[in-house]
């Protein structure tokens, strides 16, 4: 049981390049999330998904797109990377399958992707 995995672990991009970050979970979780973590700031929610085929915007969605074509995978895309997107990106998941989960679910995080945009 690998839990939540993320690929790649590190990436360096030039301004304007595009890339996709992949998150995978093997716990059959319905909900998945993408966060970014910057120095001196708490984790901030970028996008999230409440089930296969659904996505929703979080606190800081601009410049990012997501897709949840399969229940176990949640992709985060940067179409035209900017230096302001230099950050550590974390994927997370929670179990609940209904639309309004009791929020005492345990949230499981992946190991993170460190992205640098030059």
Q: Give the residues across from 33 on adjacent strands.
A: 48, 92
Site for other proteins in 56-95 (CB under 8 A): 56, 58, 90, 92, 94
If phi > 0 it is left, if psi is from -120 to 50 it is alpha, else beta; for residue 95 that is alpha
Among positive and negative, which fits the CA dihedral 68, 25, 22, 88? positive
By the rule CB under 8 A, 98 interacts with other proteins: no
Minimum distance from CB of 100 to other proteins (Å)?
5
| Radius of gyration in angstroms for the set of CA atoms belonging to the chain, rounded to a whole number | 14
Selected range binding other proteins among 14-22, 62-70, 75-83, 99-107, rule: CB under 8 A: 99-107
By the rule CB under 8 A, 41 interacts with other proteins: yes
Site for other proteins in 6-35 (CB under 8 A): 31, 33
Residues 65 and 20: beta-carbon distance below 8 Å:
no
Can you give the binding site for other proteins, defined by CB under 8 A? Answer: 4, 31, 33, 40-45, 48, 56, 58, 90, 92, 94, 100-112
């Amino acid at each position: 049981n690998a839990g939540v995995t993320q690929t790649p672990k590190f990436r360096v991009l030039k301004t304007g390049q595009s890339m996709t970050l992949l998150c995978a979970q093997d716990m059959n979780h319905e909900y998945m999330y993408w966060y970014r973590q910057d120095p001196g700031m708490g984790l901030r929610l970028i996008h999230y998904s409440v089930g296969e085929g659904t996505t929703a915007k979080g606190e800081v969605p601009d410049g990012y797109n997501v897709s949840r074509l399969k229940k176990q995978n949640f992709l985060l895309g940067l179409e035209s990377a900017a230096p302001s997107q230099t950050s550590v990106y974390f994927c997370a998941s929670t179990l609940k399958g209904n639309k309004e989960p009791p929020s005492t679910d345990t949230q499981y995080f992946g190991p993170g992707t460190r992205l640098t945009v030059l």
